[in-house]
A and B are shown apart, each in its own frame.
Chain A
Amino acid sequence: MKTATHLRLLHLDKRFGKRLVLKDIGLQLDAGEIILLCGPNGAGKSTLLRILGGLEKPERADIAIADDELRSWRHCRKRLLAETLYLHQHPYMFDGSVRYNLAYALPGKLDRQTRRERVDQALAWGGLEHLQDTAPKNLSGGERQRVSLARAWLRQPRILFLDEPTANLDQASRHLSLELLAPLKQTGMSMIIASHDAHHFAPLADRTLYLHERQLIGAQPIQDYYTASTEPDRSKRIRA
């Protein structure tokens, strides 16, 4: 049976000034698939995710969401913002309680009672009940990460982009955050996770891509990168 596709990307170029940071990138993300995106600092992992999340404009890119035709990024931007969710490395929390931050992810058309119930469910899902009235400035990094994942759970995007979700977290906080990703995957959400801590996501990821010298390469098992420490095989450049 053919797997449904959530995202197809072709010919993505991105420059910062005169510096070309991403060159002719292409990839395909299937429904419910989790791709682990690895690469050195400054390789363009965050930039790629931000472009796919509709937050950063590329020089060129052709994108298709679900079964749509390939169209330019500019034409797809509205849909990217509507159907994907980009989580920052350091999640931003609005000035208000945790409850307020969760409610923000809900569509405005819901009535008050439904909103309250959905937020209660999200608090329970993220193990955040005891923090519901806490101000963001009093949250730890791990708690912020869990609030941002709970927002994703409430919003139910087609695709979730996670930018270094466990960076700077201690072991316990990292464990709690990772525990929330598996149930998100079970909802049918597909994900691209950019991370240096690739081994933490190995049990979750379906495949691994490596961003190296402006291009996306890989698809080999994650252990190849981290046990053999070999230069990635550039012959395996990914195309949709």
Chain B
Amino acid sequence: MNLIVGMGAMQVSRDPGATIVTYALGSCIGIAIHDPIAKVGGLLHYMLPESSTNPEKASKNPAMFADTGVPLLFQEAYRLGGEKTRMRVRVVGGAQLLDDSGYFNIGKRNYMTLRKILWANNVLIQGEEVGGQVNRTVRLEIGSGRFWVKTSGNGEKEL
């Protein structure tokens, strides 16, 4: 069964038959977490780094922002039996326009904010594919923990 994660949304599952998918990550980031023992996993597709940009939206939809979405993703996975020390973390997205000026670097800011949050919480990233000018689609298989990245024009590969 495919669980689709929209933009600014997340899904967690412990159904071994489930695959969590999100489409067309541009500057947005997809962060997948998976506990191989509990067979619990989750995927967050956030759009922006900081909830201070729009606190009203953040209270309605914390998954829109890194600083409110990422903690929520981990909490939801713990609720299903996942444990922090076993969690494998993979990160995809954060693409950029062709731009040297720094006016359009939301992708980079999305990624840097995530690094900071994970660092502060002693969480390591096991695999990542970020930056560049491409859209990416990702899927996480809950049963196996396998994680796939598809890039327009370049096919799909496991991360």
A, B assembled together: no
